[in-house]
Chains A and B, each alone.
Chain A
Amino acid sequence: MKDSFLTGNFQVANATVPLVSTELHSADFWGAVMVRWGFNRDNYRVSPGLYAVGNPDQSSDVFVTANYKLSFDTLRKSLSGINGWILVLDTNGINVWCAAGKGTFGTNELIRKIRQASLEKVIHHKRIILPQLGATGVAAHKIKEETGFNVQYGPVRASDIKKFIKNGYRADKEMRRVTFRFMDRIKLISNDLLYGKFYLLGAIAIILAISGVAKDGFAFRNLFDKGSEAIINLFFAYISGIVITPMFLPYIPGRSFAMKGFLCGSLTFIILLLSGMTGSNLFENLSWFLIITAVSSFMAMNFTGSSTFTSLSGVKKEMRFSMPVQIGFAVAGVILQVIGKIL
């Protein structure tokens, strides 16, 4: 990685600390776009350790973050005009919240990095500011016990840092609460779209094989006629579950994601039915209803992992109910598809 964000070095307490810019450049922007589309996603990192922003001194604040470059960029951009320190933990290039859930943005790693940076020599106060979502991995009282530093949980979003400081290092309720707005969801869709590509290819392979089925056996000419129709139906079912359902998440009835995906899939089926895409007899129509809703529901259920408010207990509960239904629908759909073709 070309570290274009480094602008020089900063001397402090016999140590040299890299100085970073608070401005994002086109390389940062395009890097972010690439990562959102899955390129270089597992290696979008910065070196862990201590960095300086602005012109910090021993009374400046320390902000802790993960070594995922998107997290690091978001933080440094939010620190424009602030003189401070950034302490980057080694989270294997994973963002703060995910890494905290795994424990890599964790108590032990923070203790390690505080010691490696000799933080007690760099600053003469005892406050370090962590993103609130890091709390899933860090026990503040243990950091105090081990290092003497007081962990102060800042706001959820780095963009609130200035407001947080202005408030006398207090986050109000709005800063503390995680949201999941339209734009937050849109940003995730590209990656989720790619996530299920093997499911989609597998489903297309199965449905193509069925498309060849005819009254008199198997006919390759059907692969092109019926097959292209089948691929389009599956593709829309997939989009319904992983793009449309997340986009309109709060407005689709139902609590469980599987139900939301099923409803969205039903609507997709109706549109395809009216477009004449779902076969020529009742068996084929019904078959497509079952397949499209099953695919849409399953893919929507997978979006639980990208959301910011689903719990392990809740997802388990919805899976226990909906996975047998999804599998049943898919199997029944495939059987009806074959029957519809032979009739």
Chain B
Amino acid sequence: MKELTYLPDVATLKLCENTCNGCGMCTKVCPHDVFEVFAKKAHIVRRDYCMECGACELNCPVHAITVKSGVGCAAGIINGILKNSEPTCGCSNNNSKCC
């Protein structure tokens, strides 16, 4: 089966190569194989597969990665607009749907 891809050129993922220490943690936590380490630095090799989950930013020990992470969920975004807050999928403490 072909791999599913979403909209191109939207990901907010940024990697600062000067800061990167090449530890490769981002390659371990990324669920879509976006990074690759070569020449002692991480590189974004599959940007359009990024789903902005934020695992790389959180686990980068030298803070070389930034991404505006959040739920890629239409219901969550509508939720956020209605409650005038960040998009939230309401996974806990209430009966609404989990994303």
Contacts and interface: CB of A to CB of B under 8 A. Distances in A.
A102 B70 CA distance: 9
SS class of chain B's interface: helix, strand, loop or mixed? loop
B53 interface: yes
Interface in B31-55: 31-33, 49-55
Interface centre among A141, A257, A313, A317 (most CB of B within 10 A): A313
B89 A316 contact: no
A250 B72 contact: no
A78 B61 CA distance: 31
A101 interface: yes
A314 B7 contact: yes
A153 B89 contact: no
B68 A313 contact: yes
A318 B2 CA distance: 22
Contact of B75 (A138, A180, A305): A305
Contact of A250 (B2, B27, B58, B59): B2
How many chain B residues sit at the interface, stated as a range, is 35 or more
Nearest to B87: A312
Interface in A126-163: 132-133, 135-141, 153, 156
B98 A319 contact: no
Given A177-B32, A310-B73, A312-B68, A136 B55 contact: yes
Contacts of A182: 1
Nearest to B62: A141
A58 B71 CA distance: 39
A94 B51 contact: no
A304 B72 contact: yes
Contacts of B69: 136, 312
B74 A153 contact: no
Interface string B77-88: 100000000010
A101 B95 contact: no
A92 B72 contact: no
A334 interface: no
B28 A153 contact: yes
B29 A135 contact: yes
A153 B23 CA distance: 14
A302 B75 contact: yes
A136 B92 contact: no
B51 A309 contact: yes
Nearest to B50: A311
Given A92-B92, A132-B28, A305-B72, A180 B4 contact: yes
B18 interface: no
A6 to B, nearest CB: 25
A181 B6 contact: no
Given A101-B54, A307-B72, 17 more contacts: A94-B98, A101-B71, A135-B29, A136-B69, A137-B58, A140-B59, A176-B27, A176-B30, A249-B4, A257-B74, A305-B75, A308-B31, A309-B6, A310-B6, A310-B72, A312-B52, A313-B12
Interface of A: 42, 91-95, 98-102, 104, 132-133, 135-141, 153, 156, 171, 173, 176-182, 191-192, 195, 249-250, 255-257, 301-302, 304-319
6 contacts: A92-B91, A98-B89, A136-B58, A305-B75, A311-B51, A319-B77
